Structure 1
Amino acid sequence: MPFHASCKVDWEVAGQCADVKTKITDQIKALNGPAGCANGGEKCLYSLVSDSGMKVTATHETPKKHYKDDLTFSFTQSSNVCKVHGFSTSETWYAVLDHSTNYCNLRNLITGSGLQSTANFKETTSDSVCTQYSSADCSKY
């Protein structure tokens, strides 16, 4: 388990990285406001920080305690597969456990953009690089 609340995830998605990147940035923008916070959800309060080259950075704020997490997506084209490296980390220096929030910060964008339903979609992560990954409940966080 990481020493700080954070998560590293690698995905492989069929297609061009430009399209994958657009879908992720569009999803960040779609979840910008408070609407997804209803009924205790956290699919809300995302903010796009930068979108340049093969990298996207964003933040996610938890609606109840207003903790902020920093998100980074890096894209690498490999033939007809886009390799995406996602990283989310808590801005709170003392955060160790996060109820899988950092994983869900990333996964909710992938799921919301429909990328997990593309052909040959592959996700790679583990508890050793992603805080509380094996107990993730992204319907809640």
Structure 2
Amino acid sequence: MLTFSALLVLCAASASGVFCGPLHASCKVDWETTGQCSAVQTKIVDQIKAWNGPSGCASGGEKCLYSLVSQSSSQVKATHETPVKHYKDDLTFTFSQNGNLCQIHGYSRSETWYAVLDYGTNYCNLHNLITGAEVDKMAGYKEMTSDSSCTQFSSADCSKY
């Protein structure tokens, strides 16, 4: 017997013939790295602030127009605006310390109610901050996501988005 959520994913897959994943343009990513979450969080917040203005858009990419919304000891909320069409996406990073490991859950979701496909933009919103902050260079770094939890993840081109 199919669950309602499984049926929704199957319906989306059969409607387009190729798409299978979230029914709204979004992305869930989990990362893990050795170190203190407070240090990782600071790196990500600093990167959001560094990419706040439009200057990072000049080369055609989207490493720009990020805005910090809120910050607590375990969570960072931000937005990202696409430079051409001015679509907005909501981003959340949630941090949990597990011994010497920092576990980070990232979520990006399009504010546009009708968005289904996004060319991997929601993944790139998160990925660009992680790599810009050099979290990917920290010891023990791992990234976990898939097309089923991240719209068009496998075809994302983060040099463009």
The alpha carbon displacement at 1:119 in A equals: 1.2
Q: In structure 2, what is the equivalent of residue 97 of structure 1?
A: 117
8 Å Cα contact 2:33-2:142 kept in structure 1: yes
Q: In structure 2, what is the equivalent of residue 111 of structure 1?
A: 131
Query: 2: distance between equivalents of 1:40 and 1:23?
Result: 24
* Matches for 1:14-25 after TM superposition, within 5 Å: 14-25=34-45
8 Å Cα contact 2:53-2:66 kept in structure 1: yes
8 Å Cα contact 2:38-2:73 kept in structure 1: no
Regions of 4+ moved over 4 Å: none
How does the TM-score come out when normalised to structure 1? 0.99
1:70 equivalenced with 2:90 (yes/no):
yes
- Greater RCO (CA < 8 Å, at least 6 residues apart): 1
Q: In structure 2, what is the equivalent of residue 49 of structure 1?
A: 69
Aligned residue pair count: 141
Structure 2: stretches of 5+ with no match in the other structure: 1-20
Q: In structure 1, what is the equivalent of residue 79 of structure 2?
A: 59
Q: In structure 2, what is the equivalent of residue 39 of structure 1?
A: 59
Q: Highest Rg: 1 or 2? A: 2
Tell me the C-alpha RMSD between the 2 structures: 0.5
Aligned partner of 2:108 among 67, 70, 88:
88
Query: 2: distance between equivalents of 1:64 and 1:39?
Result: 12
The alpha carbon displacement at 1:3 in A equals: 0.1
Query: 1: distance between equivalents of 2:59 and 2:94?
Result: 32
SS of the residue corresponding to residue 80 of structure 2 reads strand
Code of the residue aligned with 2:124 in structure 1: it is C
8 Å Cα contact 2:70-2:77 kept in structure 1: yes
Residue identity over aligned pairs, in percent, reads 72
